[in-house]
Structure 1
Amino acid sequence: MNIRQNCIFSFEDALKIQPKSRLEKIINTLDLKPVLCKLDKPGEIKVRPKPYPAYAMLNALIAMRLENMGTFTQLVERLTYDPHLRYVCGFEPFGTAPSKSCFSRFYSKLAQSGCLETLFTSLVKQAEEMGLLDLSSVAIDATKVEAYEKSVPRKNIIQNGNAADWGIKSDTNGNPIKWFGYKLHIGTDVKSGLPIAMKVTPANCSDSSVALELVEKCCANTQSKIVYFLMDAGYDHREIYSVIRDKYHAQAIIALNKRGAKQPPEGFDWDGTPICSARYRMVYWGSYQGVNKFRCPHIMGKCDCPFGSAWCSDSNYRMVVKTKVKDDPRLFSSPHRGSANWQKQYNLRTYSERCFSRFKENLGLEDGLNVRKITKVETHAYLCAITMIAAVIAINQDSSTRSSAA
């Protein structure tokens, strides 16, 4: 007959001596005080017959995103049958788990308070202080988010800027994609691939209309100087170029959208390259303090001009043309549009696509979306972003601790 001996340690003591799980490390990086202060009744959300701590409810939602759970039902089942998960989140390990309706009410309260944006901003600042963000270049882009609610005809949609709507955009192959729902706009640091600013809009909202708001959020959430803002052709609007240059003293790296565009001024090509009197494109020769320099293509060996090098200028240096970015921020840029340095910066824009991929494949941005209304969808997106940034911070803190111990 086997007799089970009594445990020397309690359940809580046994967990404390175990190696910390990934979720524990992430939760330890979060300072939830600003979040709890913004809730109506900080510290707990009351659900009969027993109150549950608000910080535990929020930790459970983060665990839901980390484990890529699709519904509140899955979360409740995990909490019910996993006492370790209950303990890590902050619930009583031998108590009951919150119900689905409890999480639903807490989620509504969280969405109304808007406190997750504060937590997100604090994590961005923490990542910047740890040197995880470079911030010299920020990519801005948007992705589709299909709505959880049932689609309705466009004529029945109330156009108040908050309801789900129909959107259409082209994929990488130019094929149109149509969906009913929302758009998630993100400013992404190109070094780490981490989001530093976010906004959710109905799907019919154009990318360019949100660009300047995202730029403002990027600059407000960080301390470092952002030099380049990288965007695709959907953001090709003169106001975006001008505001980024004049207000934020940065350079917009945006692909030209020639559809419906006017012809370039006389003497210039589409990308702002001067055309010499013999109708050859002049050679870009560098930029300095917002001034681009171009030289004669014949003297640079790029063409065989029938008029020779002395046709346009008597100088030994031959013909030189300079353009100033301030004269036309859209046509002229520093570095010059199409140059190797410009193209190198523009290629970094793909980091925003990687960020979207992690949101959708690892954090359940679309598959895990089981809430309606734009405020709750934005809360869902912030939970994804908070989980991603907190995970990166936790990994680097753990690596630093190991290095110090070694």
Structure 2
Amino acid sequence: MAIIRQGSLFDLQELYNLEPTHRFEAVFSAIDIEPIFAVVTKKSRFGRPVELNYAAMIYSLVARLTERIPFIKDLVKRLKNDMIFRLDCGFLVSDTVPSEAAYSRMVTIISESNVLEEVKEMILHQAISEGFITDDTIAIDATHFEAKNQAPPKEEKPKIEPKKRGRKSKEEREQWLIEKTEREASLPLFEKKIEEQLDVPLEQLRAEIPQNPEWGVKKNSEGKNVFWYGYKAHLAVGTKSQYILQSLISSGNLNDGKAAIPLLKGIQERVPLSTIRYNTLDAGYDYEAIYTQIHRMGLQSVIAYNKRNEPEPEGFDKHFAPTCFREHSYRYDSFDPKYETLKYTRPKECKDCPLADEGLCQKIYKVKITTDLRKYTAPARGSKAWKTIFKQRTAVERVNAYLKLYFQLNNVRYRTGKRAKVHFDLVTLVYNASKLAADRINAMLNQQLAA
């Protein structure tokens, strides 16, 4: 008798319903702390003798996130008063409980390296090798979280002197253009146009992204501006597996679109996944350079179109499908990947139209997506297939909610961008480790049911 494939039996919420000891075992087993341990341990036999259990300290930072312990002082208090929790974290009965200062020193040491990114990558590769990540679609989005240090007052914009009326002379205009070019060339990379990122190496992009807390603004559901002081988390998530494939932290004032190319290049260079075909993003990422980067990767863009006061195209509908003589839209039929061509067929309304027999309406219409990567996507805009893929974008919003609800993303307790990055990297690391732990338990349950 054929075995019926079982659906998902175990998820993150059920992982958190386990007894703490079993939960810690599952999550800790998914994390190889050796690289972190090598960074934080004392390198010299000289100086103050080492009395701390650094491996247990690392595990306790992970446990702090999963147990939603808000402050390091509360973690220290829990370690002193709860012997079972202390043993679960890996401390021996004879070990000294670390002080807040000891944890602070360890976080400072970690902040000077990229070791948490390396461990995150190891967890991701392990999940891919075990067959838990087989996504064909990636969703990218950003979410904000506030810094806990006191926000400075918002700077008032300097008053701009009114422009002189009349046209500039030829000499004045040439001088103005020279000054403008020099001014734009001297800007930091992430203050330039997004197109400037296309040929910049990934390491440089990640190194130059601004990470200090800044004032940010977004529109709420009522269309009003809401301000916050802090950071943004930029995530690229597999829509099926809901693993975080790439992540970035930035200042709160960074435009969402300016973090897309570093995320995409990170997927291209660091994620060995051959099943990826589509990238889906909202209208805030509708920039020519982002389409270009996705096209260079050999993937397809499913991005909401941002009209930006552009005129209505003649001979095409709002989804850029061609229209017939009587303005009926052609139907999307298929995409030819070899020639990168979209194929449209004659509208249903033209079946009995006398103009079709007179040659005024062509039967087949083809267009290359390279004609305009923003307008022509595969599958075509407005098609059922396009809408189905775009709906999967909600996966990244779900992951954002998980990070804030279960993993304390919005509970940053550090005043500098470097130390805040440690918190962010640890949050995303623990999330992926928890996903891997849940998937392993789920696979084990499926094997037991099949047996």
TM range (shorter): 0.7 to 0.9
Aligned partner of 1:352 in structure 2 is: 396
Distance 1:131 1:119 in 2: 19
Shift of 1:79: 0.6
Write the mapping of 1:20-31 to structure 2, written as runs, cut at 5 A. Answer: 21-31=22-32
**Is the partner of 1:199 in helix, strand or coil?**
strand
2:322 is equivalent to residue 274 of structure 1: yes
Aligned partner of 1:5 in structure 2 is: none
**Distance of aligned partners of 1:36 and 1:339 in 2 relative to their CA distance in 1, 3 Å threshold:** same
Write the mapping of 1:356-395 to structure 2, written as runs, cut at 5 A. Answer: 356-366=400-410, 368-395=411-438
Distance 2:31 2:122 in 1: 9
2:277 is equivalent to residue 227 of structure 1: yes
Write the mapping of 1:202-241 to structure 2, written as runs, cut at 5 A. Answer: 202-225=251-274, 226-241=276-291
Distance 1:36 1:302 in 2: 70
Distance 1:278 1:128 in 2: 51
Q: Does the aligned pair in 2 maintain the 1:292–1:336 contact within 8 Å?
A: yes
Distance 1:386 1:233 in 2: 28
Shift of 1:144: 0.5
Q: State the TM-score, normalized to the length of structure 2.
A: 0.77
Q: Which amino acid aligns with 1:387?
A: V
Q: Which amino acid aligns with 1:268?
A: F
Q: Does the aligned pair in 2 maintain the 1:83–1:94 contact within 8 Å?
A: no
**Distance of aligned partners of 1:302 and 1:142 in 2 relative to their CA distance in 1, 3 Å threshold:** farther
Write the mapping of 1:91-106 to structure 2, written as runs, cut at 5 A. Answer: 91-106=91-106
**Distance of aligned partners of 1:213 and 1:42 in 2 relative to their CA distance in 1, 3 Å threshold:** farther
Distance 2:400 2:70 in 1: 18
**Which has the higher mean CA deviation after the structures are superposed, 134-143 or 287-296?**
287-296
Aligned partner of 2:63 in structure 1 is: 63
CA deviation profile, 1:307-354 (whole Å, cap 9, x unmatched): 53224458xxx5321111122111101100110000000000000010
**Distance of aligned partners of 1:192 and 1:176 in 2 relative to their CA distance in 1, 3 Å threshold:** farther
Distance 1:404 1:257 in 2: 47
Q: Does the aligned pair in 1 maintain the 2:341–2:366 contact within 8 Å?
A: yes
Q: Which amino acid aligns with 1:25?
A: A
Aligned partner of 2:305 in structure 1 is: 256
Distance 1:391 1:57 in 2: 19
Q: Identify the structure with bigger relative contact order (alpha carbons < 8 Å, sequence gap 6+).
A: 2
Q: State the TM-score, normalized to the length of structure 1.
A: 0.85
Q: Does the aligned pair in 2 maintain the 1:23–1:63 contact within 8 Å?
A: yes
Q: Which amino acid aligns with 2:380?
A: H
**Distance of aligned partners of 1:91 and 1:185 in 2 relative to their CA distance in 1, 3 Å threshold:** same
**Distance of aligned partners of 1:302 and 1:381 in 2 relative to their CA distance in 1, 3 Å threshold:** farther
2:124 is equivalent to residue 124 of structure 1: yes
Shift of 1:263: 2.4
Distance 1:230 1:43 in 2: 49
Shift of 1:370: 1.0
**Distance of aligned partners of 1:379 and 1:268 in 2 relative to their CA distance in 1, 3 Å threshold:** same
- Output the aligned Cα RMSD: 2.8
**Distance of aligned partners of 1:344 and 1:85 in 2 relative to their CA distance in 1, 3 Å threshold:** same
User: Which runs of no fewer than 5 residues in structure 2 stay unpaired?
Assistant: 1-18, 158-190, 192-208
CA deviation profile, 1:14-35 (whole Å, cap 9, x unmatched): xxxx995211221122112222
Distance 1:381 1:19 in 2: 23
Shift of 1:369: 1.6
2:245 is equivalent to residue 244 of structure 1: no
Matched positions, count: 377
Shift of 1:239: 1.1
CA deviation profile, 1:282-314 (whole Å, cap 9, x unmatched): 2222222231112222xx237985x53224458
Aligned partner of 1:37 in structure 2 is: 38
Aligned partner of 2:194 in structure 1 is: none
Identity among equivalent pairs (%)? 28
Q: Does the aligned pair in 2 maintain the 1:263–1:270 contact within 8 Å?
A: no
Distance 1:250 1:180 in 2: 35
